[in-house]
Amino acid sequence: MMRLACILALAATLTACGDKAQTLSGTKHDGAAFEGTTNPYNAPGWKAGDKTSWEQQLKTRTQYGQNEYTRAN
């Protein structure tokens, strides 16, 4: 009886000493940008998940927004 009580007491007191397992996870996987977001701020004119349309959207946006030679002349 005494032995069982000792074992139970030991188990109860030592459970707090358990250390969490530490694993080297490394860098998490990042989702591709062309997959889009779920927020409502996505720019119109392309389809989320379609890499080609996303690339075209960025190229069009770069030309329209940053190349004034194609707009002024």
Partner 1 sequence: MARMKFVSDAERCIECNGCVTACKNEHEVPWGVNRRRVVTLNDGVPGEKSISVACMHCSDAPCMAVCPVNCFYRTDEGVVLHDKDVCIGCGYCSYACPFGAPQFPSQGTFGVRGKMDKCTFCAGGPEANGSQAEFEKYGRNRLAEGKLPACAEQCSTKALLAGDGDVVADIFRNRVVQRGKGAEVWGWGTAYASKQAGQPPVAGAKS
| One character per residue 1-40, x = contact with partner 1 (rule: CB under 8 A) | ------------------------xxxxxxxxxxxxxxx-
66 lies in the site for partner 1, by CB under 8 A? yes
- Cβ 22 to partner 1, closest distance in Å? 13
- Cβ 63 to partner 1, closest distance in Å? 7
Among 7, 10, 43, 49, which residue interacts with partner 1 (rule: CB under 8 A)? 43
In Å, what is the CA distance from 18 to each residue of 7, 12, 13, 25, 62? 16, 11, 10, 20, 55
Torsion of CA 50, 55, 57, 60, to 10 degrees: -160
Distance CA 7, CA 13 (A): 10
